[in-house]
Amino acid sequence: MRDIAELVDGYKIFHAKHYPQQANLYRNLAVSGQSPKTMVIACCDSRIDPGVIFNAGPGDLFVVRNVANLVPPFEPRGDYHHGTSAALEFAVNGLEVETILVMGHAHCGGINAFLNGLYNPKEEQGFIDRWMSLLNPARNEVLNLARENSEEELQKAVELTSINHSLKNLMTFPWIRERVIANNLKLRGAYFNVADASLLALNPDSGVFEPLD
């Protein structure tokens, strides 16, 4: 675990070794602002870093991270989930990103806790309970299929299915749907395996997660 002293040491290494190589880029970004083409919705799990996974530099990705990389449905008058929705609104209407990628991952702690009853969406006593209730449709779909034999298989199925549900929820936002229909915005899904760093990409035609070529 990195404490604050290690963070300071890390910053010093960045400023001395890495920043000089990209100083002009940082100065240009400061003056001209950001214009990323891709938004990534990823888990806040410390093992998952979209910038590292996609070898991205400063200004390349607009990243939103939340518990279990979930996208809520469009709720203009709701009381919950506005952090991710606000980021979506800014990315699409403000930055005019061309792609939104929902990236799930293996061994998600939030999904594991949800499946094992640590969070109780029915009670909705806290922030995490209300947030994890977004997983109910994915869990119910997987349980209705009843094809998973082990806890590990069940968890992976929910992890993958929740990506599809998040993509469906993206289409409930009117300004996202309009851009998708006009072919000005693409919605994509991916799944990262922490153990071997393999990446599956959701084939938009077949709906199947396939190894990335």
Q: What pLDDT score was predicted for residue 80?
A: 65
Ranges for all domains in the chain classified under CATH 3.40.1050.10: 34-211
- Which DSSP string do the residues of 23-78 spell out, in sequence order? HHHHHHHHHH----SEEEEEE--TT--HHHHTT--TTSEEEEEEGGG--PPP-TT-
Round to whole Å and give the CA distance between 156 and 161: 8
Structure confidence by residue, pLDDT tens digits, 5-29: 888 899 999 999 999 999 999 999 9
Could you tell me if 38 and 60 are in contact, meaning their C-beta atoms sit under 8 angstroms apart? Answer: yes
The three-point CA angle 142-148-150 to 5° equals 125
Q: What pLDDT score was predicted for residue 1?
A: 41
Q: What pLDDT score was predicted for residue 192?
A: 98
- pTM to 2 decimal places: 0.92
Regions of the chain with pLDDT less than 70: 1-3, 78-81, 119-125, 146-149, 213
Integer CA distances (angstroms), 208 to 39, 105, 172, 195, 204, in order: 21, 15, 22, 21, 8
Q: What pLDDT score was predicted for residue 147?
A: 64
Q: What pLDDT score was predicted for residue 74?
A: 93
Give the fold, CATH level 3, of 34-211.
Answer: Beta-carbonic Anhydrase; Chain A (3.40.1050)
